[in-house]
Copies of this chain bind each other. A is one copy, B any other.
Amino acid sequence: MPKEIPIEYRTVVVAVDVVVFSVFDGALHVLLIPVNRPPHYVAMRGLPGGIMEKKETSDEAVLRHLSGKIGLSSIYFEQLYTFTSLGRDKRNRVASIAHLGLVTATEAKRVEREGGVWVPVHEVDKLAFDHNEILDTAVVRLAGKLLYTNIVRHLLPKKFTLTELQKVYEIIRNETFDKRNFRKKILSMNIIHDTGEMQTGVANRPASLYSFTGTKVTEIPLISVI
């Protein structure tokens, strides 16, 4: 009886990958896992992800791989782009549906186990497969979406100060903003509201705590009509 050829050598395999971001310690971090797939990808790092099975959607595959490998359950994610270059995985023909994921700093801390590592985005070097390209795509997308959505909500705790919010914008956008103008702009968008609570135990004037309005990621009409 002839040895059977595994399916993945005969046809296109579908995988999901996730670029999980978190902002802490003054930098945008990405979650990486160890990759060991001889002969091409040995002792490298890469994005978390894996095969999408026949009985699951891409979203289900993302959740399964993140909660399994990384113990990550509380996460926001959305589809980013599907990568289909022929050489992107040197062993098989794998098309990867890449995703952009966001977790809060506290969730990020909880996840540092199972070999998952948070690396500042600007210190990432050669990753397995085409994961550098996927990462670059995700960074651009995230920086863009900050400007016309309230997606930043998934990087911050329930209650946060305006300065914390501004810091996240500055880190991801890689630019600084005037404090007064930033506050005017953000407050005019009606995406956050003052909770009435204040910071406690800080060695300076305590800041007001704000919270995001609504629960979903939505677009904010910033673009002027022609």
Chain A residues within CB distance 8 Å of chain B:
7-8, 10-14, 52-59, 79, 81-82, 84-86, 93, 95, 97, 147-148, 169, 173, 175, 177, 181-182, 185-186, 222-226
Decide if A54 touches B147 in the complex (CB within 8 Å).
no
Partner of A84, one of B11, B97, B173: B97
Give, as a whole number of angstroms, the nearest-CB distance from A163 to chain B.
14
Give, as a whole number of angstroms, the nearest-CB distance from A43 to chain B.
29
Shortest Cβ distance from A170 into B: residue: B226
Number of copies: 2
Given contact pairs A81-B79, A95-B52, A186 touches B226 in the complex (Cβ within 8 A): yes
Contacts of A175 in B (CB 8 A): 225
Decide if B10 touches A147 in the complex (CB within 8 Å).
no
Decide if B79 touches A58 in the complex (CB within 8 Å).
no
Decide if B223 touches A12 in the complex (CB within 8 Å).
no
A52 CA to B55 CA in the complex, in Å? 20
Partner of A148, one of B52, B169, B223: B223
Decide if A52 touches B226 in the complex (CB within 8 Å).
no
Partner of A79, one of B55, B82, B85, B169: B82
